[in-house]
Structure 1
């Protein structure tokens, strides 16, 4: 495959000087200042992981983030498509963290985390700084992409009234609700399919992406998966164009990424195999028990719906998880999806564990 340096920008599209973006951040306590985190500083990385885990624990009852998740955002590799800001006290301790991700054309993801134990007035001011910084970054990335309007896409856990108040006050609107679902996996479910590597049912073949002689995935297969997902999600909520190179770069950043969790579904009852479905899975690592699998993407072309493609792909990842000794498979579903996907997941044993919300704001670039 082509090197990423040949197809991604050498420098990201964001503004890298936080003070130049938000000024001296009036209103913060004496000695507090905006800064950037240092990915080489283990104390910075550990502090960001602590903030992120506390944010999760407050929002859904438990923490799942790790240092690897932080490094996706702040490492040199991650910064090709991202930028970060932190707010430090006079001793250098980080109390708030913002991260932006140039996700795809017109869509910028924004992570907004403020320490839970801060006094309300200090927490409010930290939030104001992060939100102002994100707005400036949206204008910068939108201008670099030649857009008139740049969307900021962020989120909350359902019931997080503090986060919702800050976002609403900054002009964001709640636009979607997402069910975060999980399904237990039994040991004997490895027999759901003949083998997760390759099996066939009703004229549809379900298989892993092929490997080349050096063990890397076949680029043609990866492009087929990208094309299927782009087409399958064209009419879905907040879909935006993402190049193959951006798509590959982003998914490889995921700490749970594994090439042997990428499946393609092909109709084979015609003259030549026709790719019609794709599933990209990842590993959900656990420090207290067995790992789990996660469905990052599942897409089926409209012309192939009704042939059991989605169900076959889900059976494949369940069987694969059972074969690997994992105890669960997770996924996210749009609570307002018109496709009826939630009904399929429920019928196959998935249940909602917690709920998240998407909040958007469209920022004029010029």
Structure 2
């Protein structure tokens, strides 16, 4: 039996949000996935991989990615629903994530190959359930409006049509970029663990470790504070507490503490954190692993001192030293910051494109 955390803001019983299931074939039902049932997890993985392959041309999801959504640890900030056929096989899956105050993410996956009318009915069930969960979360947070933030691969007309007809609006485009890494780039910086650009008065280093081996909390708070400030005016930025930030990033299957870097100015009376990069591992089952830039941010006062470029050189050199063959990241294609120019100049190229779709739900 799955244990739901007491501090969950979600309605745990799908039937409370879905009293009727119009359009579904006879015998089809809705309930929650069972993370302890390997067949359930395997089936959801198949659904997600097929969704990825149809949308961008290849699949990358693994069972670890599904467990982030459905495991008991994940259910502290998430809730799930599945649509099952008469044989209890999952044919559609929805997952919502209480991401930050005012922002709730939605993963919306419907089996490819279902008849159009059945697939659309499954989509309607997932959306209606998500809208109900948005009201629950918004009410628990004391909000008047709760945003649902979901996505689609560019060119996935089925997904886009369903979202548009369900009241979502496409609000942003994102370039998913990749950069090849060569072994000789391990010398791109003197030492990825720590180095200094003296002419700029900036030092780059990994977050420190405490005696227990865990990261130094002051350093982690510096990372959080830098990123909160750096993204303050960025698209769809919502305040996230330090505890929420740490919990969410540690859920990532690719999380590693030795992939967190700080940049500090060292030309003042004492070092000051002005930049941060949080990296992860992109594991591969049929080749070298890669690194991924989950977050990179620079405080406004320190821009123009080569901080972002230094952090990017650091993760590239680190990836090369670990025999990885690539570094990936995501770029806001509609941003006016010019970040895409920096990434392009350092060798990143767009591999595929995704879209953000939003719907604002009034909270009763």
- TM bin, normalised by shorter chain, reads over 0.9
Structure-2-length-normalised TM-score: 0.98
Residue 232 of structure 1 corresponds to which residue in structure 2?
230
Asked if structure 1 preserves the Cα contact closer than 8 Å seen for 2:103 and 2:147, the reply is yes
Q: Which runs of 4+ in 1 moved over 2 A?
A: none
Structure 1 position 298, deviation (Å): 0.3
Q: Which whole-Å CA distance do the structure 2 matches of 1:313 and 1:246 have between them?
A: 24
Residue 122 of structure 1 pairs with residue 89 of structure 2: no
C-alpha offsets along residues 22-61 of structure 1, whole Å, 9 cap, x if unaligned? 1131221011000100000000000000000000001111
Q: Is the 8 A contact 1:229 1:298 kept in 2?
A: yes
The answer to whether the aligner puts 1:194 opposite 2:190 as a matched pair is: yes
Query: Which residue matches 1:250?
Result: 248
CA distance in 2, matches of 1:49, 1:360: 25
Q: Could you give the per-residue CA deviations for residues 341-363 of structure 1, whole angstroms, max 9, x where no partner exists?
A: 00000000000000000000000
Distance 1:10 1:334 in 2: 36
Q: Deviations over 1:259-296 (max 9, x none)?
A: 00000000000000010000000000000100000000
In structure 1, the gaps of 5 or more residues are 1-8
User: Residue 89 of structure 1 corresponds to which residue in structure 2?
Assistant: 85
Checking the alignment, whether the CA contact within 8 Å between 1:178 and 1:332 is kept in structure 2 is: yes
Do structure 1's residue 32 and structure 2's residue 28 form an aligned pair? Answer: yes
2:340 to 342, 349, 353: 342
Partner of 2:58: 62
For residue 351 of structure 1, the aligned residue among 329, 332, 349 is 349
1:1-366 equivalences under 5 Å are 10-201=6-197, 202-366=200-364
RMSD of aligned C-alpha atoms?
A: 0.7
Q: Name the CA distance, whole Å, in 1 between partners of 2:88 and 2:231.
A: 44
SS in 1 for 2:288: coil
CA distance in 2, matches of 1:328, 1:165: 34
For the Cα contact (< 8 Å) 2:23–2:117, is it kept in 1? Answer: no
Q: Is the 8 A contact 1:59 1:159 kept in 2?
A: yes
Cα offset for 1:299? 0.2
Q: CA deviation at 1:10?
A: 3.7
Aligned partners of 1:24 and 1:33 also within 8 Å: no
Give the superposition deviation at 1:19. Answer: 1.2
- Contact 1:153–1:360 at 8 Å: present in 2 too? yes
Query: How far apart are the structure 1 equivalents of 2:172 and 2:111?
Result: 25
